[in-house]
Amino acid sequence: MSGTFVGMPAFPEAARTAVDNPTLRGNLRHATHTIRAKRAGAVAELADWAELREAGRRIKDHTLRHLDRFLEQLEASVTAAGGTVHWAEDADEANRIVAELVKETGESEVVKVKSMATQEIGLNEALEAEGIR
């Protein structure tokens, strides 16, 4: 069974390991209680919490329904500001685009910000396969 992210174990395997770790369990229990308490405090401060939450859900749903239009607006804004937008159909294409951009500079080493998106597409591994550190 493959992992969720490149180089990571599959969830069932990772979960079994995590469940056996008493420090991790204690930290998770503490974090969960802290987050729940802070959320309860924030909710209690607002009389219209449910309405605000519903409004947020509607905005999110609207944005997702019209994501193509919003992405095109973003592209237009980036282009107008002098930037370039690259579109990719999938992770492999995105990785190829990034590797080509790096190679065009003549460099073989890059610094990037860690992000879930680059983790999910396996960018580090793709760059490494292209000889880019």
Domain ranges of the chain: 1-45, 47-85, 86-133
What is the radius of gyration, based on Cα positions, of the chain? 21
Instruction: Encode the chain (133 residues) as per-residue pLDDT tens digits.
Output: 445 566 778 888 888 888 899 999 999 999 999 999 999 999 999 999 999 999 999 999 999 999 999 999 999 999 999 999 999 999 999 999 999 999 999 999 999 887 899 989 999 999 999 999 9
CB 19 within 8 A of CB 25: yes
- Count CA atoms closer than 13 A to 51's CA, side-chain side: 3
Predicted TM-score (pTM) of this structure: 0.63
